[in-house]
Structure formats: C-alpha cells, structure tokens
C-alpha cells in the first residue's frame, strides 16, 4: 500500500499500487485536466516532489510528449505514470488543473 500527497489539494492519503496518478488524483477530488488519456496531449502534467522511484518508468510516448512540452525533469503525465508502491508527493501546475 502506498500514499499520495498533492500539495495544495490533499494531505497524505492511502493509494493502491498499480493505480495511475490520474485515477488517484480524481479519487482524491483533485481537478486535473485530461484530454486524450494516452500520453500525447500533455494536459495532465504533474510535478513530482518526492517518490519518483515509486512510479513506473517513463515510456516512449510520455517521454516524447514531455520533451515537446519542454517540461521540467520532475514532470510526469498523470495518465501514464503509475504508482508501483510507496509514497509519492506531487503538485499539479495551474495549467494542468481543470477549469
């Protein structure tokens, strides 16, 4: 069992391993934007503060999208990154919040 903390939205909460960050964020009622759900639109970018090692590795599509966005090194796409186990602390940039 892992935990997730979303700065500015929720304190530490339990999280099921093998869950996508997107499903965890939606489950915690964090209004993250999403468009395609396939890692190519980049609308659901999050910034990992701690626990990167507890996420699945970045795949080809996610890496390409993040590179095209010129995203920071700690960026992940919530639809693609999955919690493997352990804790993850992240923030959702304002441009990734659903309006």
Rounded mean pLDDT of 71-88? 94
Which tokens belong to 55? 């996420």
User: How far is it, in rounded angstroms, from Cα 47 to Cα 65?
Assistant: 15
**What tens digit of pLDDT does each residue of 4-60 get?**
999 988 888 888 888 999 999 988 889 888 887 777 788 899 999 999 999 999 999
Rounded mean pLDDT of 74-90? 94
Rounded mean pLDDT of 61-73? 95
Domains of the chain: 2-96 (3.10.20.30)
Over its C-alpha atoms, the chain yields an Rg (Å, rounded) of: 12
Residue 3 CB-half CA count within 13 A: 8
User: How far is it, in rounded angstroms, from Cα 28 to Cα 21?
Assistant: 10
pLDDT number for residue 35: 80
pLDDT number for residue 70: 96
User: How far is it, in rounded angstroms, from Cα 88 to Cα 51?
Assistant: 5
pLDDT number for residue 14: 82
């Amino acid at each position: 069992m892992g935990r997730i903390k979303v700065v500015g939205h929720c304190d530490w909460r339990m999280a099921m391993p093998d869950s996508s960050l997107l499903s965890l964020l939606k489950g915690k009622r964090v209004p993250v934007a999403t468009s395609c759900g396939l890692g190519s639109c980049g609308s659901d970018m999050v910034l990992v503060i701690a626990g990167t090692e507890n996420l699945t590795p970045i795949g080809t599509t996610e890496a390409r999208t993040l590179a095209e966005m010129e995203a920071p090194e700690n960026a992940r796409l919530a639809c693609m990154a999955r919690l493997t186990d352990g804790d993850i602390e992240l923030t959702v940039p304002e441009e990734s919040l659903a309006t």
